[in-house]
Structure 1
Amino acid sequence: MVNRELIARHCICCAGDRLDKSAAVLMPFVAQRVFGHEPVEITADWGLRDLRQGMAYTLCNSLQCQDCGALFLDYRFTDEQMAALYHNYRDDVYNAQRIRFEPGYANVVPHYHQRAAYLDEVEAWLAPHLPEAPAVLDWGGDTGINSLFRERNRLLHIHDISGVDLVPGAERVDFERIGQNQYDLVTCSQVLEHVSFPQEMVARMLPALSPNTLMYLEVPHEALVREHPGSLELAPLKRHWHEHINFYSEDAMRRLLERLGLVVVDVLRLPVDVGWTRGEVMGVLVRLA
């Protein structure tokens, strides 16, 4: 059985136990969806002798591995808690709940209904490694709006727990269907930063790979990591956690994938402008060893 530490004591990427720790807060929207916590103000009426008055939020820790540099939240949410956090993701109820805590989120919502422009550059980077019309499996692809090679494929399968309607041409598949197909490319984009047990998730994808299949994994190359390249002193700088509970360095990604018997073919660093913010993505192309 997989050892799931619900309060992390080992690195989520390399399994090392040399973790630097610093106190942080879990953002109220996440704390409410996961734990049912609401921010509360401690006032004189509480009659607490030894606690200072002021706003109280859900406490957590920022952890950074001193071996591979991965930076992550100490809480590792259960499947049930993850389901609560992402229930009806980005529907009207979800958006209203989030806007109550984060009014600025209202300006972000419209951009999620548009295909990200930077994906053309990702496709151009991948194209030399693939057939003209590849068979693609998008793991965690939601509606398929941001699936790679959406307009140029032999088939586009999506494996996702959301159950939302798919874009035209995409087909939802379960584990059994995945095992009946040969894919040229398996993709998982903008997912691994959200999940509690990323190595376990990548391991679930391995049955979809053949010796000729490539896998493309994409995560945000977070500003804190970019601005302090190679630093192992990021934990005190990470004071709050939201949906992205894992921040990856390139070394952390490589260590995670090598533990699963995967070989890194190439790494992409790509600046992106997604409408409401600018940043950078890190894409890692791998194959079976």
Structure 2
Amino acid sequence: MANQCLACGASVTKIANAVVAPWITEISGQKDPQFTTLLNCDNCEFSFFEKRFSDNEMAAMYSGYRSDNYYAVRNSWEPWYRRTVNDAYSGESDHVDERVSFMTNILISAGLQECKTVVDFGGDEGQFFPEIDIQERIVIDVSNKTLRKNVSREPSLGVVKDKIDLIVAAHIAEHVNDPIDFFTNLISHLNSGSYLYVEVPMDRPSIKSHHGSEKYAEMLSRISTSSKRKFIAHDFASGIARQFGFSIPKRGVVKQSEHLNYYNLKSISMLLEKLGTTVLKTEATPNAKVGGLRLGRLGVLVVKN
């Protein structure tokens, strides 16, 4: 078991046994269930799954992220994962508007109403730029999707390093293997006085001490090696509990899906400040939904020292 926090380096405690989502195992060409643990930092309250995804697993998940094959495999294991969730941020949608509005309000309330150059790291089609006065909109994204009007794409931050006023990194940090490396890279491309906006979900499962026991680990192993229908039934009950803010049931499934990391205000603030920034404004909506699923939303605006 890992004994250090990936965000601050302090000691961690195992709080639950877990299984890697079967759709990830299948889409990455693996047959046997993979088991892991959910850890929590005793200092900064950062929670994370011990297992970090391999290059093969990352490529299998994200090279065709939310594609038809991705949807088919995931939906076969999670029938509640509908098109409304898969396509929530595609095209023009209320979810895009809500996300943009949430970020815009944070920026404006901090006095940031105009920027010459804004870079959206992982910005898809360019649909998520805040509604402030922006002269140049750039996305750093591996996809070849058609971009929105007045948006350009670059392969890396280094190309535009010296002229960035604001980097947006929304709903990326929960997916990365190394949070410190990820944020260090972003911040290194900012000049002093430039800004970084980070947004993450607030979807850490609520668990009980039972989930960290050997008895639960044995039960989870039995469920994960039983029939697909039985696993889905236990997983569905767990999902329902999470949507209503309840703990994972005693016989439920603690599951590592594509979100490896769970941040709260304390952990994200401590991490960003440790890397040479000052927190200017934060906002949280724990009950925010995407495609009908309750995921929550935490936004943090920092300035580089």
Contact 2:269 2:279 in 1 (8 A): yes
> Which of 142, 146, 161 matches 1:165?
146
Where does residue 126 of structure 1 map in the other structure? 107
Q: Residue 8 of structure 1 contacts residue 75 of structure 1 at CA under 8 Å; is this kept in 2? A: no
Q: 1:220 aligns with which of 201, 212, 218?
A: 201
Task: Please give the residue correspondences for 1:29-48 in structure 2 after superposition, counting only pairs within 5 Å.
Answer: 29-34=23-28, 36-38=29-31
Q: Which moved more, 1:274-283 or 1:182-191?
A: 274-283
Question: Root-mean-square deviation (CA), in Å?
Answer: 2.6
Structure 1 residues 198 and 165: alpha-carbon distance in aligned structure 2, compared to 1, 3 A threshold: farther
- Counterpart of 2:187? 206
Aligned residue for 1:61, secondary structure, equals strand
> Alignment partner of 1:255: what SS?
helix
Does 2:53 correspond to 1:77? yes
**Quick one: distance in 2 between partners of 1:31 and 1:217?**
29
1:106 to 1:22, Cα distance in 2 relative to 1, 3 A: closer
SS of match in other structure, 2:52: coil
Letter of the 1:261 counterpart: G
CA distance in 2 between counterparts of 1:142 and 1:73 reads 26
Instruction: Tell me the amino acid that sits aligned with residue 38 of structure 1.
Output: K
- Partners of 1:122 and 1:224 in 2: CA distance: 25
Alignment of 1:1-289 (within 5 A): 8-34=2-28, 36-38=29-31, 57-107=33-83, 108-113=85-90, 114=93, 115-118=95-98, 119-128=100-109, 129-132=111-114, 134-149=116-131, 152-173=133-154, 174-180=156-162, 182-222=163-203, 224=205, 236=212, 239-270=254-285, 271-289=287-305
Unaligned runs of 5+ in 2: 213-246, 249-253
Q: Alignment partner of 1:105: what SS?
A: coil
Which 10-residue stretch deviates more, 133-142 or 213-222? 133-142
Output the CA distance in 2 between the equivalents of 1:156 and 1:9: 41
* Partner Cα distance (1:255, 1:133) in 2: 26
Q: Which runs of 5+ in 1 are unaligned?
A: 1-6, 40-56
Deviation string 1:15-42 (CA, Å, 9 cap, x unpaired) is 11333243111110122234x3336xxx
Task: Please identify which structure carries the higher helix content.
Answer: 2
In 2, Cα distance between the equivalents of 1:254 and 1:111?
Answer: 28
* Stretch deviating more after TM superposition (185-194 or 138-147): 138-147
Q: Give the direction of change, closer, same or farther, for the CA distance of 1:218–1:91 in structure 2 (3 Å limit).
A: same
Identity among equivalent pairs (%): 27
Between Structure 1 and Structure 2, how many residues are aligned? Answer: 258
Listed one character per residue, the Cα deviations across residues 247-273 of structure 1 (whole Å, up to 9, x for unaligned) are: 112111122212211221121113534
Residue 28 of structure 1 contacts residue 38 of structure 1 at CA under 8 Å; is this kept in 2? no
Alpha-carbon contact 1:64-1:235 (below 8 Å) kept = no
TM-score, scaled to structure 2: 0.75
Query: CA offset at residue 111 of structure 1?
Result: 2.2
SS at match of 1:146: coil
